[in-house]
């Protein structure tokens, strides 16, 4: 073998698709169209009219003001979760433990607000959200440490951590944190007591799920962007994800960065749980977080692993989830939305190769003789080394 | 607990290990070839539904298993197209495959079957003459359904294929060092396709073992994450069929044990006992990492591109 | 970099722009009822009990008089709350939130739509404290049928061991299981009732394994609740034992196994709600179905049940209705006047 360049390892950050405008827009659109066409085949198979179903999907998410606020309400936790997933992704860590981290965060927020009911509103909300954030960090730090210092595959450990979180939820809701109010006891409800009203996130539009948590999520998307691209820490995290060997050579503590990214990712998921408690459910209930984990990953991926990109992505998938439950009116199970999500993931990840080939061809054309296609990530890593 | 009860737990645990074992054996082939398929649970669900529906309509569980395996193969090809041909990151392709399988199996069930119905003709226990009368082992090993026998017979077969055949050699070569394998004239992509198809076939069979033998029922998301645990079992077992079998048995026996303890009136919170297998798996993963530091297929999780070699 | 996201937003806006006004709501004089249920409407359990009742009422009053819409599988409370609001805004007359967990959210929505009737269960709280006048509550005294099933199970069991496959130790399931245990113990004090909680509602495989475990430990009669039970019924069927059910009739498919099911028949409640609404009362009442009315012990007619067992069941039913037997968890337990006769 006479190759000069060392074999380039595949990295999760390669999924941050094309750097040119065309691919950035084309990839998600083509992926969605692809998923919709394959989905249509299955819809015809089960005897439904795909056009009617898809029309209902759009109508259910955006048809009127109420459904629009529903979409935003659903997008809020998804966005928070996705920002965290982006950070982990950027350090080449795949956080599948979001589901569990959301649950633990929600429990912590509930426990704080129920524990200090006499605090003034601002302190109750801030403290509650910080409690959720901290609990999420702790719960994410466990698989983070296992990954960074013990080499345990984070995908596998987080799957188990999710199972454990569900049991912790049941344990607390049927035990120490159980709602002991008279009506709940008589009906044997599995939930915590309602948190004090002072702890509720103010609504931006009355009678909706459109609460101030949405603004917090938006702000954190910007913070996440600044963190990743504007701070030394964020730069180091990205360097680890882009090329761990080069990063290590440049003196970046690779393990610590992986651990940190996972913990932060868990923190944002925990915060999502807290926001959901203070903004929507106002208590922790059974089935508290069902499906935010995988949907959050889908959103992060669809947003090209970029916190700002996650904003439109969270709206699109929030809308999809909202209208999914309304598909029953056209005789199609909400499971159709899960099918579409799966297909979209497959299409998005698979199209990365096509953009990559495009990029290579482009690079070969414009800069004859250069060995590798320069991307923002790899040049960042090169700069580090 | 009496010795008799211990034997009963063992017999029940062996049967309950079947879906874990089949799925994990299939996953072993893929991972040995360097492909990490996280979507096994989705493959299992499709297999479980396909097998159930065919058996329900035709009355033939054998035909059901065959269809489940065929569906599994198709799911394996889907994974291969995405992660081998199009070089997508395997963990995420797997999530896509999982969601696709979860959604589609539910959609098809809700459209074609609607209400939970039991199968009249699933796989029942087939005691093996003479052997099933053996003390201790008789009931555990020789009084099970066909899927159980098949799954455990596959363990030595899988070992043989992986270690003693040219095909197995190719799989391991592709998983260790695809560049070198390529330079020796092995078609890396083709070997990975075949390994993923085998994984899909066994994943489909695993689902069928759940719906046709273990429960004789199909319900939405009936695997409840067995496929994900199967992926962990492959690490646990150090990528060897025997190790995987040991892991599957340990996991299902602990799960069975916690049900037995509850029924025996042992006063532990059911939530705490239900956590036990998950906690155990994490601990096992930590140990497995130490034990098999050198056994991991070196190219696991990395798409192979000839132009970058 | 930023151009990508602007383009992204533009694409999203394009999708939004594609959406036009949507269909106008057609005005009609039909009675419009919406059901929101946590699991599938044919789960052979909780959700199906209400779906069946609503369909029966619709068939009785005529499809031209009653419009029925069902949103099933809404196990996430915020999704259910969104659906409630959606239906109320669309002008539905009666919105049924068929899950205890929906309560808190439902009260909030009910306050926003005082002209819409809301009903929820199992619950006894119709929002009096919150000042609501448009909420009905309904509950099932599941412990009563549980008790009757326990009596029969104890009589039918040859091994003296009964098994219960429960979801979690709370809610309706707890009432039912406690009633079942009490009924069995009252009939045969030395009977062994073994309980396994799967800590899940829909894990069929685990319910199957739980049933296997119980059967291995000698149980020849099983009961259980939630949508996970089909696996357990199939298992006891294979072991040639008996099954007692609750919530919705489960005999179809297991005709040789299911002895009796406590069926939650909500038709009476629904009809009363409709009648009250037509008379101008939008809420403010709690209903409880009990063996006296609404709870039906449905015997499987395809199975020959010994007369002694049936007779014992009838006697127990009458005694419970008369207040001579008070199952645990019953509100009557708290009444000082009625002393249980042990």
> Domains along chain C?
31-140+266-289 (3.40.50.2300), 142-263+300-330 (3.40.50.2300)
Q: What's the full length of chain B, in residues?
A: 309
User: Is A365 part of a structural domain of the chain?
Assistant: no
Query: C37 CA to chain B: closest CA distance, Å?
Result: 15
What's the confidence (pLDDT) of residue C138?
93
What's the confidence (pLDDT) of residue A20?
58
Nearest to C22 among A59, A70, A309 (CB): A59
pLDDT exceeds cutoff 50 at A384? no
Does the distance separating the beta carbons of A334 and C73 come in below 8 Å?
A: yes
SS3 letters for chain C?
CHHHHHHHHHHHHHHHHHCCCCCCCCCCCCEEEEEECCCCCCCCCHHHHHHHHHHHHHHHHCCCCEEEEEECCCCCHHHHHHHHHHHHHCCCCEEEECCHHHHHHHHHHHHHCCCCEEEEECCCCCCCCCCCCCEEEEEECHHHHHHHHHHHHHHHCCCCEEEEEECCCCHHHHHHHHHHHHHHHHHCCCCEEEEEECCCCCCHHHHHHHHHHHHHCCCCEEEECCCCHHHHHHHHHHCCCEEEEEECCCCCCCCCCEEEEEEECCHHHHHHHHHHHHCCCCCCEEEEEECCEEEEEEECCCCCCCHHHHHHHHHHHHHHHHCCCCCCCCHHHHCCCCCCCC
Average pLDDT of span B148-163: 96
Residue C66, both tokens: 């009653």
pLDDT exceeds cutoff 50 at A371? no
Average pLDDT of span C247-268: 90
Residue B222 touches chain C, beta carbons under 8 Å = yes
- With bands split at pLDDT 50, 70 and 90, how would you rate the model's confidence at B281? confident
CB within 8 Å of chain B, chain C residues 103-122: none
pLDDT exceeds cutoff 70 at C21? no
User: Is A186 part of a structural domain of the chain?
Assistant: yes
CB neighbours (10 Å) of residue A181? 12
Does the distance separating the beta carbons of A70 and C82 come in below 8 Å?
A: yes
Count how many domains chain A has: 1
* Gap between the Cα atoms of A298 and A78, Å rounded: 10
pLDDT exceeds cutoff 80 at A243? yes
What's the confidence (pLDDT) of residue A32?
85
CB within 8 Å of chain A, chain C residues 178-197: none
The count of CB pairs under 8 A between chains A and C is 120
Residue B229 touches chain A, beta carbons under 8 Å = yes
Query: C29 CA to chain B: closest CA distance, Å?
Result: 32
User: Is A257 part of a structural domain of the chain?
Assistant: yes
User: Is A276 part of a structural domain of the chain?
Assistant: yes
Average pLDDT of span C122-150: 90
Q: Which chains touch B (3 or more CB pairs under 8 A)?
A: A, C
In chain B, % of residues over pLDDT 90: 59
Q: Are B239 and B296 in contact (CB under 8 A)?
A: yes
Q: Tens digits of per-residue pLDDT, A184-198?
A: 655 666 788 889 999
- The CATH number given to whatever domain includes residue A277 is 1.10.3470
Of A267, A270, A312, nearest in space to A32 by CA: A312
pLDDT exceeds cutoff 50 at A4? no
User: Is A288 part of a structural domain of the chain?
Assistant: yes
Within 8 A of A189 by CB-CB distance, chain C residues are 100-101, 103, 170-171
Within 8 A of B124 by CB-CB distance, chain C residues are 238
Residue C252 touches chain A, beta carbons under 8 Å = no
User: Is A131 part of a structural domain of the chain?
Assistant: yes
What's the confidence (pLDDT) of residue A209?
81
User: Is A35 part of a structural domain of the chain?
Assistant: yes
Q: Tens digits of per-residue pLDDT, A261-299?
A: 999 999 999 999 999 999 988 888 877 776 788 888 889
Q: Tens digits of per-residue pLDDT, C189-208?
A: 999 999 999 888 888 899 99
What's the confidence (pLDDT) of residue A302?
83
The count of CB pairs under 8 A between chains A and B is 168
What's the confidence (pLDDT) of residue A28?
76
What's the confidence (pLDDT) of residue C15?
47
pLDDT exceeds cutoff 50 at C19? no
Helices (H) and strands (E) in chain A, counts: 15, 0
What's the confidence (pLDDT) of residue A15?
56
Does the distance separating the beta carbons of C42 and B114 come in below 8 Å?
A: yes
* Structural domain boundaries enclosing A67: 12-356+375-384
pLDDT exceeds cutoff 60 at B244? yes
What's the confidence (pLDDT) of residue A18?
46
Nearest to A63 among C5, C8, C19 (CB): C19
Q: Tens digits of per-residue pLDDT, A150-178?
A: 988 888 899 899 989 999 998 898 888 88
Edge-to-edge order in the sheet of strand C117-121: C66-71, C31-36, C94-97, C117-121, C135-140, C285-289
Average pLDDT of span B128-132: 86
Strands C258-264 and C295-299: antiparallel
Residue C13 phi, psi dihedral angles, 5° rounding: -65, -35
Q: Tens digits of per-residue pLDDT, B91-125?
A: 889 999 999 999 999 999 988 888 888 888 888 88
Residue B110 touches chain C, beta carbons under 8 Å = yes
Residue C90 touches chain B, beta carbons under 8 Å = no
Domains of chain B: 3-115+148-304 (1.10.3470)
User: Is A370 part of a structural domain of the chain?
Assistant: no
Within 8 A of C331 by CB-CB distance, chain A residues are 186
Does the distance separating the beta carbons of C217 and B16 come in below 8 Å?
A: no
Strands C192-197 and C135-140: unpaired
Q: Are A229 and A86 in contact (CB under 8 A)?
A: no
* Gap between the Cα atoms of B90 and B88, Å rounded: 6
Residue B264 touches chain C, beta carbons under 8 Å = yes
Return the top range by mean pLDDT from A151-160, A348-357, B74-83. Answer: B74-83
Q: Are B214 and C205 in contact (CB under 8 A)?
A: yes
* Gap between the Cα atoms of A162 and A352, Å rounded: 29
Tell me what the pLDDT averaged over chain A comes to: 84
Residue A380 touches chain C, beta carbons under 8 Å = no
CB within 8 Å of chain C, chain B residues 153-172: none
Q: Tens digits of per-residue pLDDT, A193-240?
A: 889 999 999 988 887 788 999 999 999 999 999 999 999 999 999 999
Q: Tens digits of per-residue pLDDT, B176-227?
A: 999 999 999 999 999 999 999 999 999 999 999 999 999 999 998 999 889 9
Average pLDDT of span A327-332: 81
């Amino acid at each position: 073998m006479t190759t000069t360049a060392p074999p380039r390892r595949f990295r999760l950050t390669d999924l941050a698709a094309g750097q040119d405008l065309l691919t950035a827009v084309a990839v998600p659109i083509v992926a969605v169209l692809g998923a919709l066409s394959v989905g249509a085949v299955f819809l015809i198979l089960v005897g439904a009219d795909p056009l009617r179903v898809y029309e209902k999907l759009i109508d259910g998410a955006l048809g009127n003001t109420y459904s629009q606020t529903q979409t935003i309400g659903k997008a809020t936790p998804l966005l928070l979760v996705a920002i965290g997933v982006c950070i982990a992704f950027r350090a080449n860590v795949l956080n599948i433990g979001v589901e569990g981290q959301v649950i633990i965060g929600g429990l912590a927020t509930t426990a704080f607000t129920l524990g200090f009911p006499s605090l003034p509103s601002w302190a109750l909300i801030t403290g509650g959200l910080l409690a959720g954030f901290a609990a999420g960090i702790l719960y994410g730090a466990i698989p983070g440490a296992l990954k960074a210092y013990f080499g345990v595959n984070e995908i596998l450990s987080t799957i188990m951590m999710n199972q454990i979180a569900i049991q912790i939820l049941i344990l607390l809701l049927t035990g120490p944190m159980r709602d002991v109010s008279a009506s709940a006891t008589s009906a044997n409800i599995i939930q915590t007591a309602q948190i004090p009203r002072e702890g509720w996130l103010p609504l931006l539009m009355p009678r909706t799920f459109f609460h101030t948590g949405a603004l917090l999520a938006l702000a954190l998307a910007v913070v996440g962007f600044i963190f990743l691209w504007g701070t030394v820490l964020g730069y180091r995290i990205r360097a680890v994800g882009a090329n761990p060997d080069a990063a290590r050579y440049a003196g970046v503590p690779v393990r610590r960065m992986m651990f940190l990214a996972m913990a932060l990712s868990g923190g944002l998921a925990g915060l999502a749980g807290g926001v959901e408690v203070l903004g929507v459910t106002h208590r922790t209930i059974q089935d508290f977080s069902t499906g935010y984990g995988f949907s959050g990953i889908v959103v992060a991926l669809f947003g090209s692993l970029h916190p700002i990109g996650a904003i439109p992505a969270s709206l699109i998938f929030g809308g999809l989830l909202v209208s999914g439950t309304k598909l029953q009116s056209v005789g199609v199970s909400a499971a159709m939305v899960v099918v579409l999500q799966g297909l979209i993931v497959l299409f998005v990840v698979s199209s990365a190769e096509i953009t990559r080939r495009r990029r290579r061809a482009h690079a070969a054309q414009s800069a004859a003789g250069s060995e590798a296609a320069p991307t923002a990530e790899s040049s960042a890593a090169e700069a580090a080394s | 607990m009496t010795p008799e009860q211990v034997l009963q737990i063992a017999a029940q645990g062996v049967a309950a290990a079947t879906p874990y074992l089949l799925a994990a054996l299939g996953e072993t082939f893929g991972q040995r070839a360097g492909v990490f398929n996280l979507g096994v649970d989705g493959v299992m669900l499709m297999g479980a539904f396909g097998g159930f529906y065919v058996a329900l309509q035709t009355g033939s569980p054998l035909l059901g298993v065959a269809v489940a395996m065929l569906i599994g193969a198709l799911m394996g090809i889907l994974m291969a197209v995405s992660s081998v041909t199009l070089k997508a990151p395997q963990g995420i392709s797997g999530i896509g495959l999982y969601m696709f399988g979860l959604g589609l199996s539910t959609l098809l069930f809700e459209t074609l079957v609607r209400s939970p119905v039991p199968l009249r003709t699933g796989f029942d226990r087939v005691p093996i003459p003479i052997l099933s009368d053996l003390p201790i082992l008789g009931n555990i090993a020789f009084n099970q359904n066909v899927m159980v026998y098949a799954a455990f017979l596959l363990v030595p077969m899988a070992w043989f294929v992986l270690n003693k055949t040219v095909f197995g050699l190719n799989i391991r070569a592709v998983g260790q060092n695809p560049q070198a394998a390529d330079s020796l004239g092995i078609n890396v992509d083709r070997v990975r396709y075949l390994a993923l198809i085998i994984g899909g076939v066994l994943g489909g069979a695993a689902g069928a073992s759940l719906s046709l033998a273990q429960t004789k029922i199909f319900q939405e998301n009936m695997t409840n994450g067995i496929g994900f645990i199967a992926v962990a079992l492959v690490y646990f077992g150090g990528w060897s069929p025997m190790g995987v079998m040991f892991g599957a048995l340990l996991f299902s026996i602990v799960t069975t044990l916690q049900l037995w303890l509850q029924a025996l009136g042992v006063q532990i919170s059911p939530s705490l006992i239900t956590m036990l297998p998950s906690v155990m798996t994490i601990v096992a993963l930590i140990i497995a990492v130490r034990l098999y530091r050198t056994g991991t297929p070196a190219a696991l999780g990395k798409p192979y591109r000839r132009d970058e070699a | 970099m930023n151009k990508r996201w602007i383009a992204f937003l533009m694409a999203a806006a394009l999708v939004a722009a594609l959406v036009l006004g949507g269909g106008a709501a057609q005005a009609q004089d039909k009675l419009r009822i919406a059901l929101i249920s946590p699991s599938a409407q044919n789960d052979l359990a909780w959700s199906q009990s209400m779906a069946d009742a609503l369909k029966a009422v619709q068939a009785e009053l005529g499809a031209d008089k009653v419009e029925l819409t069902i949103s099933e599988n809404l196990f996430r409370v915020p999704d259910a709350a969104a659906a409630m609001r959606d239906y109320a805004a669309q002008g539905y007359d009666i919105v049924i939130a068929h899950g205890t967990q929906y309560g808190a959210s439902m009260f909030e929505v009910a306050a926003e739509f005082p002209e819409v009737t809301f009903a929820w269960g199992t619950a006894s709280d119709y929002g009096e404290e919150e000042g609501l006048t448009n909420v009905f509550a309904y509950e099932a005294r599941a412990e009563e049928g549980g008790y009757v099933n326990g009596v029969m199970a104890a009589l039918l069991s040859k091994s003296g061991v009964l098994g219960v496959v429960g979801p979690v130790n709370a809610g309706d399931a707890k009432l039912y299981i406690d009633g079942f245990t009490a009924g069995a113990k009252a009939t045969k004090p030395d009977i062994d009732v073994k309980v396994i909680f799967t800590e899940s509602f829909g894990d069929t495989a685990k319910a199957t394994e739980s049933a296997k475990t119980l059967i291995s430990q000698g149980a020849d009669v099983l009961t259980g609740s939630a949508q996970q039970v089909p696996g357990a019924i199939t298992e006891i069927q294979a072991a040639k034992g008996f099954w007692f059910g609750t919530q919705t009739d489960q005999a179809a498919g297991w005709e040789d196994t299911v002895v009796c099911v406590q069926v939650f028949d909500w038709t009476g409640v629904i009809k009363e709600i409709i009648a009250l609404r037509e008379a101008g009362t939008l809420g403010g009442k709690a209903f409880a179905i009990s063996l006296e009315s609404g709870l039906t012990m449905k015997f499987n007619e395809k199975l020959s049940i010994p007369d002694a067992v049936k007779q014992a069941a009838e006697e127990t039913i009458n005694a419970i209705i008369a207040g001579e037997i008070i199952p645990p968890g019953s509100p009557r337990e708290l009444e000082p006047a009625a002393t249980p006769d042990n």
